[in-house]
């Protein structure tokens, strides 16, 4: 153990001098109409990634569950001058990749393209048209609607999706995170192209957008590109903050019959928001409890010692408002109750006693060592920028990350877990026979 | 369409400038361990992958899944480092460690800070010869593997369909059996079986060390020498050829399990890069797959999803890096109001077009542009770079083939694409599997 502590001290020493260079050279600015941009230049590969994230995830669905996801999927279905076929062909011709995805918080449009101007320019023109001039044509609407209805069926044949949807429903009753990102079949069937356009006009606006750019560009080029991409968007308004989620008041257990060999189990409760000041003690603790791949407490107890599961983990999903804390596992039907008991006992012990000093030191060392692995390529840098930009984390988030991990103390960690996690008030969802 | 041709030209002029940053160096130790180092100095990280030339396709009947089971046990301790120590050492040092088993290979990797590379090599050398393989630990691990089987296959209607589809598409060819193994075979594996498998195949002369990252090749060589050179070379078993039987007609499989969505799989038996007699054929097959499903602008999505609206999901894929003959696979989910029969008819029509009509220059250039761009995008991930080298070397092909990929793809002509379609996409070569949700007509 002396070795561990020695290395840890060494790491801290080299990462905290006052003159330390920033981890990433992040440039940031705001476009004329109010979109926020974060940019990192990387010149080793002739490629560029651009991610445009609107605060327009399913949390904004309001009375139309599924409208956020449906709107996001419709952008590539036609613009003022281009058909869906032309949009797809324009990207493919220059080897560019485009994808649109929606989650509970974000609606994201991502472009990966080569940086050679002859290939880049057509890709950007096409991307800008998709972002700023979608027309929501009726033919595309009907087809995408059918695709979404099939996606509901696909979710229903996967016990893990059934469990996840049931868990969110139980945890977020009456809150914007309650329903699945896809919405409900009834709502999706009742939606109209006009409703989507209304959603688009409200949320796909510059002040509600966060843009991350990584790749083979100069700052001047990146600035031009940003204006070109979103310059035509209305300024609009940033989406209103989401209300805080009330804590779970009593334990609940929900059993859903499903023809599967395994019981899919989720145990959890309300966790924390992205801006929570206790995020680091919780995050470092969770690394020990259930996140550290192959070595966590849950992995040891449920998998290694008892062979109950192939995969078992715990995670905090910090969102705009309080995201969930969950323990997820799958086990054969006859072992379900035993596995749940072991997982819960592991959690209780962890919350009551906290980790040992040795475990904490090892976890810190592991997380500090991991740090460079998460910013090693363009895709990872893009992900970090998007996180920092969308959740308005401080711009020195990456620079101070290691100090914050190092600073977590045992009493602080224990106090945070005891404050936020009540093992006697967990929601347990079991999907299986 | 001169514009497109121009783009392609620009691209090929542009790539060599970036080629230097990813120099590959090859070494071989006296005990036969091959070491391949690819430099990528963008970040102070490294991935170290140790690939063994053994996998599910090496397994005789009755012990299917043994390669995968052994992969699990490689994390259960060595004589030097007891149970659980290995994972903990790597985790404490901020690294990621994991493994994978496939038809033709078993691989172990560590992703870590470049300064920690010696640790990864030391641990891999240690578990190449000093595995505990404790009987009790295996009885627990077997439960874990059975849970993995339930999760990956038994509770996944598409995975179950795919398993039966492969078993019908391949008869004598060992790709007939799933990588994870048949349930009864897994249940009856013993620690003794695993010990034999380990002693048979885990030798330095049957492995390839692939290292990609911020390293100097000579340094990697010295480290590899330090840790692996003491391990003796050992004779490994000689594999029998196991060619497949010649197909005698179309095979059809129906899978009736609880599910909500129907699904169609069509597979044509085709050669792989390793088994092909004509070297250009696998590249023409790669092109054929991309013409059908290389992008959202390719024929499948354009014609069947957007155009005729028959399907909500479509796919076409081909794995050219395989040790034995391979499969050209089409798959799709019918749109609501349509069925798998209609989708099969539509897929067959698209195949017919490939067999009868030469692809236009414009479409050809679009597909090639996609390949060339994807090749550059792949360089963003050191894991992908290492995986390409290992996939080739583990089936006895040189990593240099990966470097020539772009050139080979560019050389494919419309006539060659038509030719492979005519030669291989015939009813005799075809296997069709359909997932029919239980209780639905």
- A5 within a domain of the structure (yes/no): no
pLDDT tens digits, one per residue of B168-208: 999 999 999 999 999 999 999 999 999 999 999 999 999 99
pLDDT at B21: 56
pLDDT tens digits, one per residue of A306-354: 999 998 999 999 999 999 999 999 999 999 999 999 999 999 999 999 9
Of A295, A332, A377, the CB nearest to B42: A377
The confidence band for B84, taking pLDDT boundaries of 50, 70 and 90, is confident
Tell me which of A182, A200, A230 is where a domain ends.
A230
Tell me which of A173, A195, A230 is where a domain ends.
A230
Subunit contact B313:A150, Cβ cutoff 8 A:
yes
pLDDT tens digits, one per residue of B341-374: 999 999 999 999 999 999 999 999 999 999 999 9
The confidence band for A2, taking pLDDT boundaries of 50, 70 and 90, is very low
In CATH terms, are B21-228 and B251-435 the same topology? yes
- A236 within a domain of the structure (yes/no): no
Rounded to two decimals, the pTM is 0.94
Q: Which of B309, B314, B299 is nearest to B352 (CA)?
A: B299
Q: Which residue has better confidence, A208 or A304? A: A208
Q: Which residue of A has its CA nearest to B334?
A: A150
| Residue B82: pLDDT over 50 | yes
Asked if A258 and A347 sit in the same domain, the reply is yes
**What residues of chain B lie within 8 A of the CB of A151, using their CB?**
312
Subunit contact B261:A154, Cβ cutoff 8 A:
yes
> What mean pLDDT value characterizes chain B?
93
Kindly report the nearest CA distance between residue B236 and chain A, in angstroms. Answer: 31
pLDDT tens digits, one per residue of A88-147: 999 999 999 999 999 999 999 999 999 999 999 999 999 999 999 999 999 999 999 999
**Per DSSP, what are the bridge partners of residue B46?**
B112, B213
- A235 within a domain of the structure (yes/no): no
Collapsing DSSP to helix, strand or coil, A323 comes out as coil
Domain that holds residue A265: 252-432
What CATH number belongs to B21-228? 3.30.830.10
Q: Which residue of A has its CA nearest to B143?
A: A307
The confidence band for B1, taking pLDDT boundaries of 50, 70 and 90, is very low
A324-332 vs A312-316, strand pairing mode: antiparallel
Asked if A256 and A195 sit in the same domain, the reply is no
CB atoms within 10 A of CB B301: 22
| Residue B11: pLDDT over 50 | no
**What residues of chain A lie within 8 A of the CB of B98, using their CB?**
293-294
pLDDT at B304: 98
pLDDT tens digits, one per residue of B390-428: 999 999 999 999 999 999 999 999 999 999 999 999 999
- A243 within a domain of the structure (yes/no): no
Asked if A172 and A311 sit in the same domain, the reply is no
pLDDT at A20: 64
Subunit contact A372:B376, Cβ cutoff 8 A:
no
Subunit contact B259:A157, Cβ cutoff 8 A:
yes
Asked if A214 and A340 sit in the same domain, the reply is no
Return the HEC string of A95-134.
Answer: CCEEEEEECCCCEEEEEEEECCHHHHHHHHHHHHHHHHCE
Q: What is the mean pLDDT of residues B129-152?
A: 96
| Residue B14: pLDDT over 50 | no
Return the HEC string of B363-381.
Answer: HHHHHHHHHHHHHHHHCCC
> Catalytic site residue B71?
yes
Q: What percent of chain B has pLDDT over 70?
A: 95
Subunit contact A369:B43, Cβ cutoff 8 A:
no
Subunit contact B91:A294, Cβ cutoff 8 A:
yes
Asked if A360 and A259 sit in the same domain, the reply is yes
The confidence band for B438, taking pLDDT boundaries of 50, 70 and 90, is confident
Q: Is B380 on the interface with A (CB under 8 A)?
A: yes
pLDDT tens digits, one per residue of B17-27: 444 457 999 99
- A20 within a domain of the structure (yes/no): no
Question: How far is C-alpha A360 from the geometric centre of its chain's CA atoms?
Answer: 26
Q: Which residue of B has its CA nearest to A4?
A: B92
Q: Which residue of B has its CA nearest to A98?
A: B296
Asked if A348 and A414 sit in the same domain, the reply is yes
- A360 within a domain of the structure (yes/no): yes
Q: What is the mean pLDDT of residues B105-128?
A: 97
- Domain coordinates in residue numbering, chain B: 21-228, 251-435
Answer yes or no: is the ipTM higher than 0.85. Answer: yes
**What residues of chain B lie within 8 A of the CB of A367, using their CB?**
94
d(CA A276, CA A286): 15
The confidence band for B164, taking pLDDT boundaries of 50, 70 and 90, is very high
| Residue B221: pLDDT over 90 | yes
CATH number, domain containing residue A40: 3.30.830.10
Asked if A58 and A124 sit in the same domain, the reply is yes
Among B73, B96, B153, B155, the residue to mutate for chain A (most A Cβ within 10 A): B155
Per the listing, tokens 């259930």 go with A290
- A152 within a domain of the structure (yes/no): yes
> CB within 8 A of A42, min separation 6: which ones?
A214, A215, A216, A378, A381, B42
- A220 within a domain of the structure (yes/no): yes
Q: Is B145 on the interface with A (CB under 8 A)?
A: yes
The confidence band for A428, taking pLDDT boundaries of 50, 70 and 90, is very high
> What mean pLDDT value characterizes chain A?
94
d(CA A388, CA A125): 27
pLDDT tens digits, one per residue of B232-261: 999 999 999 999 998 889 999 999 999 999
Asked if A220 and A94 sit in the same domain, the reply is yes
Q: What is the mean pLDDT of residues A207-226?
A: 98
d(CA A244, CA A320): 9
The confidence band for A8, taking pLDDT boundaries of 50, 70 and 90, is very low
| Residue A65: pLDDT over 60 | yes
Asked if A223 and A257 sit in the same domain, the reply is no
The CATH number corresponding to B251-435 among 3.40.50.970, 3.30.830.10, 3.30.540.10, 1.10.10.60 equals: 3.30.830.10
Asked if A180 and A259 sit in the same domain, the reply is no
Q: Which of B176, B238, B319, A357 is nearest to B185 (CA)?
A: B176
Return the HEC string of B98-127.
Answer: EEEECCCCEEEEEEEEHHHHHHHHHHHHHH
| Residue A11: pLDDT over 80 | no
**What residues of chain A lie within 8 A of the CB of B77, using their CB?**
none
Asked if A195 and A267 sit in the same domain, the reply is no
- What total of structural domains would you count in chain A? 2
pLDDT at A3: 33
**What residues of chain B lie within 8 A of the CB of A377, using their CB?**
42-43, 380-382
Tell me which of A180, A195, A230 is where a domain ends.
A230
pLDDT tens digits, one per residue of B274-312: 999 999 999 999 999 999 999 999 999 999 999 999 999
pLDDT at A137: 97
pLDDT at B6: 31
């Amino acid at each position: 153990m002396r070795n561990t502590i020695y290395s840890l001290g060494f790491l801290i020493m080299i990462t905290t001098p006052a003159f330390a260079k920033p981890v990433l050279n992040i440039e940031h600015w705001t476009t004329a109409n109010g979109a926020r941009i974060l940019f990192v230049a990387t010149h080793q590969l002739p490629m560029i990634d651009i991610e445009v994230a609107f605060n327009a995830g399913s949390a904004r669905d309001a009375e139309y569950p599924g409208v956020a996801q449906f709107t996001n999927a419709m952008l590539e279905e036609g613009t003022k001058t281009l058909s869906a076929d032309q949009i797809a062909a324009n990207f493919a011709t220059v080897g560019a990749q485009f994808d649109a995805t929606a989650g509970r918080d974000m609606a994201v449009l991502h472009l990966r393209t080569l940086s050679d101007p002859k290939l880049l320019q057509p890709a950007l023109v096409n991307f800008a048209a998709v972002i700023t001039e979608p027309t929501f044509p009726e033919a595309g609407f009907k087809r995408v609607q059918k695709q979404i209805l099939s996606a509901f069926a696909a979710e229903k044949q996967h016990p893990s999706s059934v469990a996840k949807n049931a868990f969110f429903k139980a945890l977020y009753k009456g809150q914007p995170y309650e329903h699945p990102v896809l919405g409900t079949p009834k709502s999706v069937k009742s939606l109209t192209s006009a409703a989507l356009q209304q959603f688009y006009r409200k949320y796909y606006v510059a002040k509600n957008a966060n843009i991350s750019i990584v790749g083979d560009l100069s700052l001047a080029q990146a600035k031009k590109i940003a204006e070109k991409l979103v310059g035509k968007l209305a300024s609009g308004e940033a989406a209103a903050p989401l209300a805080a989620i009330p804590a779970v008041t009593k334990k609940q257990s929900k059993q859903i019959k499903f023809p599967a060999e395994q019981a899919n189990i989720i145990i959890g409760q309300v966790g924390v928001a992205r801006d929570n000041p206790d995020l680091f003690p919780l995050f470092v603790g969770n690394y020990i409890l259930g996140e550290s791949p192959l070595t966590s407490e849950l992995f040891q107890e449920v998998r290694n010692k008892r062979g109950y599961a192939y995969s078992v983990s715990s995670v905090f999903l910090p969102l705009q408002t309080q995201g969930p804390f969950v323990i997820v596992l799958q086990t054969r039907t006859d072992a379900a109750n035993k596995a749940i008991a072991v997982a819960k006992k592991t959690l209780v012990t962890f919350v009551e006693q906290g980790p040992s000093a040795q475990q904490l030191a090892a976890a810190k060392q592991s997380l500090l060592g991991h740090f460079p692995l998460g910013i090693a390529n363009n895709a990872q840098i893009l992900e970090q920028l998007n996180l920092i930009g969308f959740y308005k984390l401080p711009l020195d988030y990456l620079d101070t990350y290691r100090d914050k991990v190092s600073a977590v103390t045992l009493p602080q960690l224990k106090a945070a877990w005891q404050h936020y996690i009540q093992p006697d008030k967990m929601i347990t969802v079991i999907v299986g026979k | 369409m001169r514009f497109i041709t121009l783009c392609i030209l620009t691209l090929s002029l542009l790539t060599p400038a970036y080629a230097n940053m990813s120099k590959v160096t090859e070494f071989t130790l006296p005990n036969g361990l091959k070491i391949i180092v690819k430099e990528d100095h963008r970040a102070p990280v490294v991935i170290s992958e140790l690939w063994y030339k053994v996998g599910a396709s090496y397994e005789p009947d009755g012990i299917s899944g043994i390669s995968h089971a052994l992969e699990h046990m490689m994390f259960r301790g060595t004589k030097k480092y007891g149970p659980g120590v290995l994972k903990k050492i790597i985790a404490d040092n901020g690294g990621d460690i994991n493994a994978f088993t496939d038809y033709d290979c078993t691989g172990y990797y560590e992703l870590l800070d470049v300064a920690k590379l010696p640790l990864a090599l030391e641990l891999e050398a240690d578990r190449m010869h000093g595995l505990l393989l404790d009987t009790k630990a295996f009885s627990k691990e077997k439960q874990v593997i059975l849970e993995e089987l339930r999760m990956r296959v038994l509770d996944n209607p598409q995975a179950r369909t795919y398993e039966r589809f492969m078993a019908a598409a391949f008869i004598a060819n060992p790709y007939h059996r799933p990588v994870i193994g048949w349930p009864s075979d897994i249940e009856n594996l013993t620690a003794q079986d695993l010990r034999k498998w380990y002693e048979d195949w885990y030798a330095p002369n049957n492995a390839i060390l692939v290292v990609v990252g911020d390293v100097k090749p000579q340094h990697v060589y010295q480290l590899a020498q330090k840790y692996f050179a003491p391990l003796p070379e050992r004779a490994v078993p000689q594999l029998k050829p196991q060619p497949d039987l010649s197909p005698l007609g179309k095979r059809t499989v129906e899978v009736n399990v609880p599910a909500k969505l129907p699904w169609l799989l069509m597979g044509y038996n085709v050669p792989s890069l390793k088994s092909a007699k004509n070297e250009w054929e696998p590249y023409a097959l790669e092109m054929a797959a991309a013409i059908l499903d290389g992008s959202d602008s390719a024929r499948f999505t354009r014609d069947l999803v957007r155009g005729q609206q028959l399907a909500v999901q479509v796919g076409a894929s081909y794995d050219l890096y395989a040790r034995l003959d391979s499969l050209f696979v089409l798959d799709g989910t019918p749109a609501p109001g349509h069925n798998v029969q209609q989708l099969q008819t539509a897929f067959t029509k698209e195949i017919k077009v490939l067999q009868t009509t030469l692809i236009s220059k414009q479409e050809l250039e679009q597909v090639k542009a996609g390949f060339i761009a994807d090749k550059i995008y792949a360089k963003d991930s050191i894991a992908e770079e290492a995986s390409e080298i290992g996939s080739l070397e583990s089936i006895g092909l040189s990593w240099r083939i990966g470097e020539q990929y772009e050139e080979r793809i560019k050389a494919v002509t419309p006539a060659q694409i038509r030719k492979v379609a005519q030669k291989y996409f015939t009813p005799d070569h075809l296997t069709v599997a359909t997932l029919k949700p239980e209780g639905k007509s």
